[in-house]
Structure 1
Amino acid sequence: MTIQDRRNRDRLSQRQLITSTARALAGREGWDAVTTRRLAAEIEYSQPVIYKHFSSLDDIADAVALDGFGELAAALAEARRAAAPGDDVRAVAHRYAAFASDAPAVYDAMFSRSTRLRFGPGSPTTPSAAFAELRAAVAPHAGEADAETLTEVLWAGLHGLVVLLRSGRLRPGHDTARIDLLVGRLLP
């Protein structure tokens, strides 16, 4: 291994440490607790080390979001592949909601915080991969409807349910029924 290879490996390791620490801190205390001073103290590096890797806290949150989109894409793919025939959309929809519930700080970085990440044509492949997994489940059931639009509506409906539930605006204990109703009405 060359010195440059080791330096690159160390740089990547530091970047990952910063990202994972920010994610853990946001998970425990919320995104307002994530500051460069706090991160530096948590990882036992100076603030300039953080700024060597990220130009701002928004860049750190975007890195957490990109990791989250990769994890969401993998979770949705697994749910789609494991689903019984004809139950793939329902399985993916439930896995989407479970992801949001299991990793609320990551979900916030992905969808609630201001971001410079772009979606749609020309966006980074990771966010697009998560949407592609939703679309892969929806497309076989779209019939004459535009699969892309149908996927966007499913995504919007799931996101709305997740946000309303997390904010305490929906009755607890009816999550499964709501998702089943959404999927059943959208893709009868």
Structure 2
Amino acid sequence: MAYPAKTDRNSILHAAMKQVESEGIDSLAIRSVASTLRLAPNALYRYFESLAALKEAVAEEARLQMLEVMQKAAGRNGPAESIRAISQAYLRFAHEQPRVFAIYLKTSGPDSNIPQCTPLCARNTEFFLEQVTRVYGEKRAWDASLALWATLHGLAVLRKAGVLSGSQSSTSLKFSLKMWTEGALSSSDDK
């Protein structure tokens, strides 16, 4: 006879995400997540073999959330408007959920010190690159994608650090997107 489940993977992940949102990834612990769910810590090991595995699942959830935010922002907009909407959504996500954003970029495997891109990491990159390709074309898309991503990430980090205010971040984004879009219009292919 099977025992009735008191929890499931999604419930554990949801509780872990809540803890990361409020306390950060370094505070995440099997015991505290189990306590939140009113379970014995051993119950969580049925779904996550270690704390590292739980942390990687949380990072994957953060990547999924960012992908969904970007996809929703892009909607059915034209190429340039999609980039603008995605950029604003990226920065809003980083500002509203700074602790989740901090783990969004972590790409180490659960038991490895070697960085690796997970399937959701790759899906985020592919989606972003597809949107940039609509503006820049295939030949320059990769470089344009890296430049835009670096700009967005830089603005997010500078705002979190208090170097930029919300209005300064917004102004910088508008200026950066104007320059980035004008780059798409230039016919020179600088290398």
TM-score bracket relative to the smaller structure: 0.7 to 0.9
The corresponding residue for 1:115 is 108
Asked whether the equivalents of residues 65 and 107 of structure 1 are also in contact (C-alpha less than 8 Å), the reply is: no
Q: Distance in 1 between matches of 2:70 and 2:57?
A: 20
Structure 2 vs 1, CA of residues 34 and 80 (structure 1 numbering), >3 Å: closer, same or farther?
A: same
| Aligned CA distance change for structure 1 residues 28 and 51 (closer, same or farther; 3 Å) | same
Calculate percent identity across the aligned residue pairs. Answer: 23
1:82 positional shift: 4.3
CA–CA separation in structure 2 for the residues paired with 1:130 and 1:97: 15
- The answer to whether structure 1 residue 130 and structure 2 residue 128 are counterparts is no
| Aligned match of 1:159 | 153
The answer to which of 90-99 and 66-75 deviates more is: 66-75
Instruction: Check conservation: 2:29, 2:51, Cα contact below 8 A.
Output: yes
Runs of 4+ in 1 over 3 A off after TM superposition: 82-86
Q: Give the unaligned 5+ runs of structure 1.
A: none
Cα offsets for 1:15-40 (capped at 9, x unmatched): 11111111101211222332122112
Structure 2 CA distance for aligned equivalents of residues 179 and 57 of structure 1: 37
Q: Distance in 1 between matches of 2:61 and 2:20?
A: 14
TM-score (norm 2): 0.79
Q: Distance in 2 between matches of 1:55 and 1:144?
A: 42
What is aligned with 1:186?
180
Return the letter of the residue paired with 2:86. Answer: V
Shift of residue 68, structure 1, vs aligned partner: 2.0
RMSD of aligned alpha carbons = 2.6
Q: How does 1:5-24 map to 2 (within 5 A)?
A: 10=5, 14-24=8-18
CA contact (8 A) 2:87 2:152 kept: yes
Distance 1:145 1:178 in 2: 27
Per-residue CA deviation, residues 33-72 of structure 1 (Å, 9 max, x unaligned), is 3212211211111111222222332321221221222222
Report if aligned partners of 1:92, 1:137 keep a CA contact under 8 Å in 2.
Answer: no
Are 2:44 and 1:44 aligned? no
Is 2:99 aligned against 1:105? yes
Equivalent positions of 1:84-103 (< 5 A) are 86-103=80-97
Give 1:172 deviation, angstroms: 3.9
